[in-house]
Structure 1
Amino acid sequence: MAFVITSPCIAELAADCVEVCPVDCIVKGEDQYFIDPEVCIDCGACETACPVEAIYHEEEMLEEDIVFVEKAKSFFNI
């Protein structure tokens, strides 16, 4: 996984990230958006576009947000 969408997305669902993604790797789940790691090209456009700062590179995530890595893996059956 490169970029992961975390808890602020659940309340917002703004979708600004979807609009700027050049490879359409962001998918809406039941309660938040998810980034497909098999399609993502690691460009970072989504991270800068997110109005609630919900997107982090996996290596820069806070410890309490690691659960969102597992949530994304489960969503994509990885």
Structure 2
Amino acid sequence: MTYVVTDACVKCKYTDCVDVCPVDCFREGPNFLVIDPDECIDCTLCVAECPVEAIYAEDDVPAEMHDFIALNAELAKTWPTIVEKKDPLNDHATWAAISGKIDEIER
């Protein structure tokens, strides 16, 4: 099992999770983070760090967000590794409570 970044991260991109990851499994896109399932060691440290609760164990991803499982695996192959915390996106507060943002992901 691996962990998956889901909808709440889109257009927010908090990076608190990156600071605690012992294996650097996070990948960074323009407005979203993903977890590389081949690198994740299932340590759970990132889950508690996410201020918008965007990270789930693969088995616990809500049904309406199952597309994020494959999306994390796909994008992790091409996006660069992120290892240091950065500021969230400028309009993160506006987007934090909005759901259904999968179509807003910039590749």
Please give the TM-score of this superposition, normalised by the length of structure 1.
0.89
Name the counterpart of 1:20.
Answer: 20
SS of 2:52's partner is coil
In the alignment, the residues of structure 2 paired with residue 40 and residue 2 of structure 1 have an alpha-carbon distance, to the nearest angstrom, of 6
RMSD: 1.3
Letter in 2 for 1:20: V
2:12–2:31 contact (8 Å) kept in structure 1: no
1:49 maps to what in 2?
Answer: 49
Cα offset, 1:31, TM superposition: 2.5
Gaps in structure 1 of 5+ consecutive residues? none
The answer to which structure has the higher helix fraction is: 1
Q: For 2:40, what is the secondary structure of its paired residue? A: coil
How many residue pairs are counted as aligned between the two chains? 77
Deviates more, 1:43-52 or 1:26-35: 26-35
Q: Which has the larger radius of gyration?
A: 2
TM-score, length basis structure 2: 0.67
State the SS of the aligned residue for 2:68: helix
Q: Report the CA distance shift for 1:76/1:26 in structure 2 as closer, same or farther (over 3 A).
A: closer
Q: Percent identity, please.
A: 42
- Whose strand proportion is higher, 1 or 2? 1
